[in-house]
Structure 1
Amino acid sequence: MPMKVIVMPGDGIGPEVTREGVRVLTAAADICGFDVELQQFDVGEGAFQSSGSYISEEALRACDEGQAEGNTAILFGAVPSEPIGLLRERYDLYANLRPVRSYPNLGGVSPLKPEIIDGTDMLVVRELTSDVYYGKQRQGHGSSGEWASQEMYYDEVQARRIAVVAFEAARRRHKKLTFAHKSNAIGPVFSVWWKALTPLREQYRDVTFEDFYVDNMAAQLCLRPADFDVILAPNLFGDILSDLAGGLVGSLGLLPSASLNERGFGLYEPVSGTAPTIAGKNIANPIGSILSVAMMCEHAFDRVEARDLIESAVLATIRTRATADISLSAAPVTTAELGKAVTDHMRELAAGG
């Protein structure tokens, strides 16, 4: 049964980095002996300008069928707005996993001293389908002029299910979980989170649990990023903290992500966004997309050997090849050159056993 991948390159640098993700996925399938079936659809602003829709009914039908059949994943590029919110809501992609790692030879691109950033290897587990991003909005005019509000909403089921994902991830990793919250200022919302977390702490007694107010959490990430393992955060805080963590390791272009639902169906995308100022120049960093493919091999297709091969090839590649955002001394390579170098290293590693 082939692995089905629905490819949605999107806008900005999305098509460039997704192209390299597909290149690596195809090489991994060839080397590791599995079949991949690709379907590609235009989405985002470009699709809207040509068709009046951010995503076609045909693309949504392919996703619907893929979720029902299983063995299917979405490889996404980047969009400035929709259809990313639509896809998250339609398929209840509530669990956003964002690994953040430092690389031994890239210490110089971090704004932190090497002895502080070295050894950083954390996973931000971000709730993705609630919070202020999906809260009720109100606007009006009053004696003080225009006003607006947007609701921060959570219920126990939403808090519990993402907390379980975080505890399970910590149990598989280094058995340490840190919760980022703001209970001192947003008491009612976080009382719901604590109602879900308290019994889970008893259930996962093998996992060390700690919590920080989110402002202090941001400071601690700058002071001692290598001390953290799994970070659990609601949607807004997880968005901010994971981008902060990406800045600490030197580039958002290095960060992959997976957004999953309870059925295991998911969307895999780099964290870097559309980066419009460099779009079309073939200089964007494709590592985030390539490592998103590695996450897809693990979570969607249970091909851990393919994940390991891709991650090892990335590590080998960036020792000598780097795009402009992470280049230190050597001349930077293009997006395509870096993607090809990763596949070349994959074949070399496979040939060497």
Structure 2
Amino acid sequence: MKKNIAVVRGDGIGVEIIEEALKLLKTVAKIYKHDFSFNEVLAGGCAIDKTGQCLPDESLRICKESDSVLLGAVGGFKWDNEVSTNRPEQALLRIRKELGLFANIRPAFLFPMLKNASPLKAEILEQGIDLIIVRELTGGVYFGEHKTKKIENELVASDDMTYKESEIRRIAKVAFDIAKNRKKELISVDKANVLDSSRLWRKISEEVAKEYKDVKLSHMYVDNAAMQLCARPSQFDVILTENMFGDILSDEASIITGSIGVIPSASLNETKQGLYEPIHGSAPDIAGQNKANPIATILSVAMMLRLSFELEKEAKAIEDAVQKTLNQGFRTADIMDKDSTLLTCSQMGDEIIKNLS
């Protein structure tokens, strides 16, 4: 199989974790006789430094023409004073919008050997954590109108949270399709007791549910969902929610599994072209020190092979290699415990590749 992959190393630890992902992809290509080509592009803070733009037109063109995009992380303290329209994070938002990446799929699962890294009590973890958050990614408040103006000598800021029926319907179908192949249970998270956009969200999700008779749909307010994720995460299998709520809940779901450094994500459009990235940030405090955990990025590669390229065997091999490496007691600093062996970012990548080959 021949595939073209746009590669965005980005900022901070993005440089290091992407290096391990590329090493892994080259090994997969060699073992399974594939032809992966990599086109590295600038986006984020590094692009601002070199071109003055967070996302140069050439970078966007390459991303659009690729079969999928692999991204490390963007942003950092260095660019905090950039104008809002040219902050590093705007590069990511623009890629999502321009490629039509409306469906963000974020699994959260507990590796048994990492349960001591979770902040939750043992009796809660014994019930297990294995859920998927399906987040709408190109609508809502992040893409609404943002304005600040002076009214009666006082600054007033507003952010428009807008959803169209069609946007809700298409992401709901993605979530229902995932749910029907799992436990056939879907929880839609909203704030319908306050927000009109949530009331529409609930109405449309209930209409879509009529097309999936075998999937049980229930609703939960977002504040309760945030609490329940900590109190009893085992009750969740597939969560459907809008952009901002999904952003917050998926980060919470990742940290209760032990480390944000092991959770991957996929963002897909209607053609299954995708953007694959770890859900953590650029971690400028440890950038360049070879301390980052590459597992989330490596598992994002597995998601890319499965969801965009339909290479199930290769994806499963990567996931098995990660689990085997953790079972062997290898850890990066963020998931280290007293009985394990501490590895650098590059060493962890090497051990996973050994278990793959």
- 1: CA distance, partners of 2:129 / 2:65: 39
Among residues 311, 320, 324, which one is paired with 1:316 in the alignment?
324
What is the match of residue 70 of structure 2?
75
Structure 2 length-normalised TM = 0.93
Rounded to whole Å, the distance in 2 between the matches of 1:295 and 1:99 is: 10
Which residue is 2:130 aligned to? 121
Name the SS of the counterpart of 1:276 in structure 2: coil
Structure 2 counterparts to residues 141-160 of structure 1, below 5 A: 141-143=150-152, 145-160=154-169
- SS across alignment from 1:311: helix
1:221: how far off? Answer: 0.5
**Cα deviation code 1:9-42 (max 9, x no counterpart):** 0001101111111111122222222221111122
Residue from 321, 337, 347 that aligns with 1:337: 347
Verify: 1:197 aligned to 2:205, yes or no.
yes
Whether contact under 8 Å (2:106, 2:265) holds in the other structure is yes
Aligned residue for 2:138, secondary structure, equals coil
Confirm or deny that 1:178 pairs with 2:187: yes
2:226, 2:39 → 1: CA distance?
40
Residue matched to 1:130 = 139
Does 151-160 or 77-86 show the bigger shift? 77-86
Q: Following the alignment from structure 1 to structure 2, what is the Cα–Cα distance between the partners of residues 140 and 307?
A: 50
Partner of 2:82 in structure 1?
none
| Matched-pair contact (CA < 8 Å) for 2:41–2:62 | no
* Structure 1: stretches of 5+ with no match in the other structure: 67-71, 348-353
Identity of aligned residues (%): 41
Contact persistence 1:32–1:305 (CA under 8 A): no
- 1:83 is paired with a residue whose SS is helix
**What do you get for the CA RMSD once the two structures are aligned?**
1.3
Distance 2:26 2:181 in 1: 28
Indicate conservation of the 8 Å contact 1:20/1:339, yes or no.
yes
| One-letter identity of the residue aligned with 2:34 | F
Number of residue pairs the alignment of both structures matches: 341
CA–CA distance in structure 2, aligned partners of residues 55 and 194 of structure 1: 35
What residue number does 2:81 align with?
none
Partner of 1:288: 296
> Offset at 1:144?
7.1
Match of 1:75, SS?
Answer: strand
Within-5 A mapping of 1:1-353: 1-66=1-66, 72-80=67-75, 81-118=89-126, 119-143=128-152, 145-186=154-195, 188-319=196-327, 320-329=329-338, 330-347=340-357
TM-score (norm 1): 0.94
Corresponding residue of 1:351: none
Question: Equivalents in 1 of 2:346, 2:123: separation in Å?
Answer: 32
**1:264 partner amino acid:** K
Deviation at 1:82, TM superposition (A): 3.1
- Judge conservation of contact 2:8–2:71 (CA < 8 Å) in 1: yes
Residue number in structure 2 paired with 1:69: none
**1:344 CA drift (Å):** 0.4
Task: Give the whole-Å Cα distance in 2 for the aligned partners of 1:59 and 1:148.
Answer: 32
2:186 partner amino acid: L
Q: Tell which deviates more after alignment, 195-204 or 56-65.
A: 56-65
- AA paired with 2:300? S
